[in-house]
Structure 1
Amino acid sequence: MSVLLIAGSPSHTSRSAALLESVGKRLAKHQIEVTQLQIRDLDAQALIHADFAHPSIVRAVQQVADAKVVVIATPVYKAAYSGVLKVFLDLLPQTGLKGKTVLPLATGGSPHHMLALDYALRPVLQALAAKQILPGIYATDAQVFVLPEGASTLSTDLAVRVDEAVHVLVSEVLLPKPHADASFAPVHFSQVRCSV
């Protein structure tokens, strides 16, 4: 069962990428296959001109198609997700997320942009036919610490929310435990007793 991590930040070092990486590391501890897609690394001209046949776009769209779970991370600009992410999502087929579980992540300068996940990104994910969209995780810049050498840490409360989201992904979507068979053994009609 593969998970695709999509980084929707135009920057090489970003808090949204750090948040996404923390999800990937937690999934890897459960032996979950994780692949990454950095939208900023796709051919810029192909993205802008919607060149569906460009090799980098074809590969990226195939990565989405092959994944069972998609985790999307974006910075919030002007109360919406990044333009880089918007351009990429526009290149996916109308049912590009069909049958997939999606975990949206976002970072922003203040708590005031928290609703961007529900009012800007979630409708697009629904329009792309996502099977299930988990509650998103929004983090302020003060909750994600990116160090100069590229390492990052999360605040305690944010780390707890990320742990909970990963637990849901693993236990309910990726590695669900089989339920005990709750069906009853067949009963012959002669064994049925009725009282009136």
Structure 2
Amino acid sequence: FYLLRDEPDVHFTFGSIQRGGVSNATQGMHSSKYCLNIAGDTPSSNRLFDAIASHCVPVIISDQIELPFEDIIDYSEFCIFVRNSDAVKEKFLINLIRGIGKEEWTRMWRKIQEVEKFFEFRYPSRDDDAVQLIWKSILKKVPAIKLKLHRSKRYSRTLDARVKKERSSLVVPPNFCVGYGMVTVKL
């Protein structure tokens, strides 16, 4: 914030939910080309989703951010990634953004329009919405979970199996079942 506050074409919106802060932030995002997405203290932040819904190119400042559906979506096609150490350098961020040409920005903006459907939750769900991508991501992880579980049982008959079992990093909840092509949770 402090490195960008005096830049004439940078807009910051402050406020609370009760005082129209959400409306002001939404208007600011819709009228902006780039939206800053600083890694915070919660993985459930809406900043990325809000930027995409506003067709505002996300500028993600983080060294190790885990993004939703990253195994399906190539975020480098419509986001700008900046390392923490670079973001705090004087004029680095603003020069990076100003150095992006109209053609490149337009390409990223069009890609946002293509992928925004993946971040929408619909009822009833459709093949290309967030609910379906969540299930696809889970289904991709199930084989790795099964493999790790099966490997953890290899030496279950050895003398030190009890010790290894106690130290096992894999914890499978008792209500988690893996069937053939389906993941279910018993309630």
In the superposition, the TM-score normalised over structure 1's length comes to 0.37
Q: Quick one: higher RCO (CA 8 Å, sep 6+), 1 or 2? A: 1
In the superposition, the TM-score normalised over structure 2's length comes to 0.39
Which protein has the bigger strand share?
1
Which structure has the greater CA radius of gyration? 2
